[in-house]
Amino acid sequence: MRRAQVLLLVLVLAAGAVAAGGCGDTSRAKEYMEKGDELSLKLSGYTDDAGFDALAFLSKLGVEFADTGGISSDTVIDEARSQIESLNAEGDKAIAEYEKILGLSGVDDYKQYAEYRIAAVEAEMEVLAAVDDLLDRLAGAPEGTSLKDSVTGWAKANTGAAVAAVKAFTNSLDAANLKKDKGL
């Protein structure tokens, strides 16, 4: 009888340890998700419309346009590039947090969320790369070049930026819906 009680106690403790291990992954997944979301929030705020309205995006970066239709100074372009680099660094950190979730067990909903967010952040970074290309085009434009012509030429050459912006939006929306539906 005593052996049965000891065996039962061992089984209960073992089951508790297994359950606690699963809970640990859930709490870690939530922690990584929240950190990734925090890191990617600023990136998303900047790139939401960048693929469709490059001038509005440049304004968010602080790029000012002179009355003649050109960029007011090279310093402004350098500052915008610095912001893009900072946003990319935050994106890399966010992806690293989401990737931590993929290595956990028993957190399938969190893994799906992480996959959506990684795809969204990667697409947002693709938009940033295209905008950096636009900055190159604007910085290298001869004096008197029309800003409208420069942006139009860039837009024709970078239709992928709009596609990336749509991918970022749809993956972000899928992630938000999953988070809401599953109570993540």
Work out the pLDDT band at 133, boundaries 50, 70, 90: confident
- Asked if residue 25 has pLDDT above 60, the reply is yes
pLDDT tens for 138-181 read 777 777 777 777 777 887 888 888 888 889 989 999 999 999 99
- Asked if residue 66 has pLDDT above 90, the reply is no
Tell me the mean pLDDT in the region 46-57. 64
- Asked if residue 111 has pLDDT above 70, the reply is yes
Highest mean pLDDT among 36-50, 103-117, 119-133: 103-117
Tell me the whole-structure pTM to 2 decimals: 0.76
Q: List CB contacts of 145: < 8 A, sequence separation 6 or more.
A: 70
- Asked if residue 24 has pLDDT above 80, the reply is no
pLDDT tens for 115-132 read 999 999 999 999 899 888
> What string of H, E and C letters represents the secondary structure of the chain?
CHHHHHHHHHHHHHHHHHHHHHHHHHHHHHHHHHHHHHHHHHHHHHHCCCCCCHHHHHHHCCCCECCCCCECCHHHHHHHHHHHHHHHHHHHHHHHHHHHHHCCCCCHHHHHHHHHHHHHHHHHHHHHHHHHHHHHHHHCCCCCCCHHHHHHHHHHHCHHHHHHHHHHHHHHHHHHHHHHHHCC
Tell me the mean pLDDT in the region 33-59. 77
Q: Find out whether 54 and 151 touch, Cβ atoms under 8 Å.
A: yes
Q: Find out whether 102 and 111 touch, Cβ atoms under 8 Å.
A: yes
